[in-house]
Amino acid sequence: MMRIVLVHPTGSNWVPGKKDITAVANRMAPLGLLSMAAYLEREGHEVFVLDCLGPGGSRSNDVYLRSVLDKDPHMVGFSATTSGFLDGYDLAVRIKAQRPHIKTVFGGVHISALGSALLDKFRAIDFLCLGEGEITLAELASGTSPANIKGIAYQDGDRPVQNEPRPQIPDLDDLPFPAYEKLQGFPKGYNLPLFSYIHTPGATMVTSRGCPYQCSFCDRSVFSRGYRYNKAAYVYAHAAYLRKRFGVRHVNIYDDLFTTHRNRIAEFCTLLISKPLGMQFNCAVRVGHCDDELLEMLKAAGFLQLSLGIETGDETQMAIHKPGVHLEAVRDTVRRIHAKGLRAKGLFMMGLPGETRNSILKTTEFALSLGLDDMNMSKFTPFHGAPLWDSIGNQGILHEDWRQMNCLNFVFVPNSIGSKEVLEELYNQHVKQFYTDPAWRRRFRHRLWEHRRSLYYFLRHLPSFLAAKRNFEPGKH
């Protein structure tokens, strides 16, 4: 048996020089780590989870170093995004300095995209876990020789070695539910995005892995383009577990494409309707994967809000970056979502290659015309595993600062825009126009009573939200 600490590093999740309030606005459980924790525990290991972005977290790796060493682990695993990798590595260096025998393992999308090349520079890493981590980490923990473990990279003397890829887990129902109980402060300390729910507490689930589509900006290094999913009975049991064990009343399902396999969703909805759990759900859908009958089932089963990856309101940009989706189809999908009594949230992305001032203005105009209930505009960040990575240098100026590569900072400026300052101005203008739109404000006012829990939370954290608001006001940065 091994004693293992799994770490979700702090990372940089806001604007440099500003207070990080992203976790105040939306703190999501690190589901990948929790899945690995549950699997390792089932295999007989003692596992601890350290969520550096959890409630009551510190910005200091000194604090987290003590937390790790107090557990006296044999192995420490880090699940790192691009923006979190360097903070995770700093912690690994400190661990190695005090207890060199502790094995350090890094996994996650950043690691899977870059592979063994990371080992040349980051020598405090013993192993890289490439792709899905549950079985790979379990084999490492069991003492299997590294040479015989698929899906890892490691240092063999002065030479980095990358083994053959790990085959994907064929049946996701073989995995245990994520070990939510290992998170300090769960579920109340892990809040969903404001005004996206009616009941509390909330939680998150993932019920599939992979995506059959190939958007230009999406990194598929971990799960590739294959699409696997939990069966409806497993998803229902997972939701029931959250309800009974933790009292969860609302779940955000963070699948890339929850409704891709229609029969699965129909069966899941039938289970929710016949055996209600007293829960509501949000999920993401893709244009072309939500017919009227499906929407009716989702509504009857307790779904509240559906998110659509729209990205842009410019048809030319859409054809390049999200092929197969058209603006009129988006408009029709939003209209039908509303017609069935569901809410629609639009997900957009600003600053993609080829973006112009005019295409951004078109996006703002299109977003306002849809009558959306909510909107999220992310700042385009090129990632190593995305299809457009290889050509990104020809399409604009990239400042490859990993700490800022988090979709919350503009690290890439398209050739046709001119400067980061212009992008920031257009971004702030878009956000302000959307949330000051009279039609949106009327819809919001009509739901004030439904949103009372969000409003209470908002008022409790008012100073942080006011500080964030100033980022969208020219001259107040």
pLDDT digits (tens, 9 = 90+) for 239-276: 999 999 999 999 999 998 898 889 999 999 999 999 99
3-state secondary structure of 155: strand
**Among the listed ranges 370-374, 417-421, 427-431, 459-463, which one has the minimum average pLDDT value?**
459-463
The answer to whether the bond into 353 is cis (omega within 30° of 0) is no
User: Per-residue pLDDT for 15 more than 50?
Assistant: yes
Q: Name residue 126's amino acid.
A: D
The answer to whether the bond into 170 is cis (omega within 30° of 0) is no
- The whole-number average pLDDT for the span 311-329 is 90
Residue 472: the pLDDT is 56
Fold of 192-472: TIM Barrel (3.20.20)
Residue 393: the pLDDT is 81
Task: Please state which of the four CATH numbers 2.70.210.12, 3.40.50.720, 3.40.50.280, 3.30.1050.10 is assigned to the domain occupying 3-162.
Answer: 3.40.50.280
Residue 323: the pLDDT is 83
> Which residues fall within 8 angstroms of residue 103, CB to CB, at 6 or more apart?
74, 75, 76, 126, 127, 140
Whole-number average pLDDT of the chain: 91
Residue 16: the pLDDT is 57
- The whole-number average pLDDT for the span 64-88 is 95
What are the boundaries of each domain within the chain? 3-162, 192-472
How wide is the angle at C-alpha 387 spanned by C-alphas 382 and 388, nearest 5°? 50
Confidence of residue 477 (pLDDT cuts 50, 70, 90): very low
Q: Is 398 exposed, middle or buried (0-12, 13-18, 19+ CB in 10 A)?
A: middle
